[in-house]
């Protein structure tokens, strides 16, 4: 069992116990600060959704002279990417520029 899995199990036991964190840790000779650190770490890791590295975003088939030439790719902190090509990319740039103005 990994350390993370072990702490998930301990935290689940504490949630079912009805005890305070301090009492739960004292009864099991666990350091309260370590328990709280793992609880915080696991709670925050659960907030992140596992997203694919690339999400297709289709605004239609690119057409016209610039089809397949223009490419825009935006990567967010969550490692989610949006990629636009051809006319869709050009329309996106136009919309962003118009919004900035």
For the record, the structure tokens of 23 come out as 């009492």
Q: Which residues pair with 71 in a beta bridge?
A: 85
101 residues of the chain, pLDDT tens digit each: 788 889 999 999 999 998 999 999 999 999 999 999 999 988 877 655 555 555 555 555 555 555 546 777 777 766 777 777 777 777 877 777 777 76
pLDDT value of position 68: 47
Tokens 């069992």 label which residue? 1
CA 100 from chain centre, in angstroms, equals 28
What tens digit of pLDDT does each residue of 55-83 get? 555 555 555 555 546 777 777 766 777 77
In sequence order, the 6+-apart residues with CB closer than 8 A to the CB of 44 are none
């Amino acid at each position: 069992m990994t350390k993370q899995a072990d702490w998930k199990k301990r935290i689940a036991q504490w949630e079912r116990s009805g005890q305070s964190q301090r009492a739960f840790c004292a009864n099991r000779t666990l350091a309260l600060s370590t328990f709280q650190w793992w609880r915080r770490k696991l709670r925050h890791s659960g907030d992140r959704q596992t997203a694919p590295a690339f999400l297709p975003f289709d605004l239609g088939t690119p057409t016209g002279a610039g089809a397949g030439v223009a490419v825009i790719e935006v990567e967010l902190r969550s490692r989610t990417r949006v990629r636009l090509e051809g006319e869709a990319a050009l329309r996106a740039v136009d919309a962003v520029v118009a919004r900035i103005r």
